[in-house]
Structure formats: C-alpha cells, structure tokens
C-alpha cells in the first residue's frame, strides 16, 4: 500500500499510458525524470501537467519513496516548464491534489501549472 492511502499503483492509469506512448498528449517538455503536457480540460489559458516518469501514486508516495535524483529532477522540470512557458512574470500557480479529499482523479503524481490570466483566490471560500 503506498503511503498516500490510495490504492497501489495502477499501471493502466491514464498518465502511465501517456508515458508509454499508448495515448497521445500535447507535450511541452520531457527529460530523464519528467514529462509535461497540456491538460485535456484546461482551467486557465495555460494549464500544463508535469508528471514524474516513475510509478508514484501521489505526492505523498513520491516524496516518501522517490530517489533524491528523481525528486530534484522532477521539481527542476516544474521550474523549467514554467520558465519556458513564459509564466515566471506575472506569475503562475502550482497545484497538486493529493488523495481523495483533494479530489485527485488520476492516481499518478502530477503537478498542475496554471497561468495566462489573473488566477484569483487560491480556494473557493466554503465550509
């Protein structure tokens, strides 16, 4: 059981299939540790997903069990993608949904990068 409490890694999850090239994506970056591609249902003018190449169910799983090289490589890729997309100015948002309470839909760790407009409050106010 991975540390997130989510089910064990499912090699048939959609991002695993994208990594294997079984499903197309609009790729923006790829290196040894990460793949970045446009979200299929964008929530902002720029909405890119960055995923590690390793099989990690969630943020908790990745941060507890990935190697230092994978973690460094992944987060450097997040920064590189934001920079290459021209999002450092005026800014952008990074978001990672972790587990059921956060509404994580795809059980392969991923970071969303949002940009291209003023992004408003971080969360919708609510109970």
Residues that are catalytic: 110
Q: Does 12 bind ligand 5GP (CB under 6 A)?
A: no
* Residue in this structure with the two tokens 């299929």, named with its chain if needed: 40
Q: Does 97 bind ligand 5GP (CB under 6 A)?
A: yes
119 contacts 43 by C-beta, under 8 angstroms: no
Q: How far is the CB of 9 from ligand 5GP (least distance, A)?
A: 14
Q: How far is the CB of 14 from ligand 5GP (least distance, A)?
A: 5
Which tokens hold the place of 54?
Answer: 């390793």
Sheet of 34-38: strand order equals 27-30, 34-38, 46-52, 111-115, 93-95
Residues that bind ligand 5GP (CB under 6 A): 14, 23, 25, 37, 39-41, 49, 97, 103-106
């Amino acid at each position: 059981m991975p540390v997130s409490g989510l089910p064990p890694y499912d090699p048939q999850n959609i991002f695993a299939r994208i990594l294997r090239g079984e499903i197309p994506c609009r790729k923006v970056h790829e290196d040894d540790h990460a793949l970045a591609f446009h979200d299929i249902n964008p929530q902002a003018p720029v909405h890119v997903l960055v995923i590690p190449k390793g099989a990690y169910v969630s943020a908790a799983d990745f941060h507890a069990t990935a190697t230092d090289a994978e973690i460094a490589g992944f987060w450097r890729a997040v920064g590189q993608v934001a920079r290459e997309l021209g999002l450092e100015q005026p800014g952008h948002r990074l978001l990672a949904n972790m587990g059921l309470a956060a509404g994580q839909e795809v059980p392969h760790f991923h970071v969303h990068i949002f940009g291209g407009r003023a992004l408003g409050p971080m969360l919708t106010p609510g109970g």
